[in-house]
Amino acid sequence: MGEAGNIVAILWAPRDALHSPSLQDRSNKILWVSRIPLVAPEPLVIRATLANSTRTTTVSVPGGPGPSIINLPAPGCWTLHLSWSGHTDELKLRYVA
């Protein structure tokens, strides 16, 4: 759940973990569920920052919160700054090698 409680990330992760790089036979599937009703959904923009690093990446989920495949470029603990339809939240996800 996001720190502000505005969004939840439901993981359908292979072997109970998100992987970087992703596994050949499985995807890093995340269902994003917004607590705030969306009238006109805009893309969910994810700006991810790797812990103890300056490494960042940006991913966009068309149509806003919903099903997605989110592959991040390196294993580690990532802080995800999320924004969609004028709303924001932040959460941390771990990707393993």
d(CA 72, CA 77): 10
Residue 85: CB atoms within 10 A of its CB come to 16
Show the 3-state SS of 34-55. Answer: ECCCCCCCCCEEEEEEECCCCC
Using DSSP, state whether 32 is helix, strand or coil: strand
> Would you list the domain boundaries of the chain?
7-96
pLDDT tens sequence across 3-49: 999 999 999 876 679 999 999 888 899 999 999 887 777 999 999 99
Is there a contact between 42 and 6 (Cβ–Cβ < 8 Å)?
Answer: no
Q: Report pLDDT for 66.
A: 95
Fold of domain 7-96: Immunoglobulin-like (2.60.40)
Q: At 26, which amino acid appears?
A: R
pTM of the shown model: 0.92
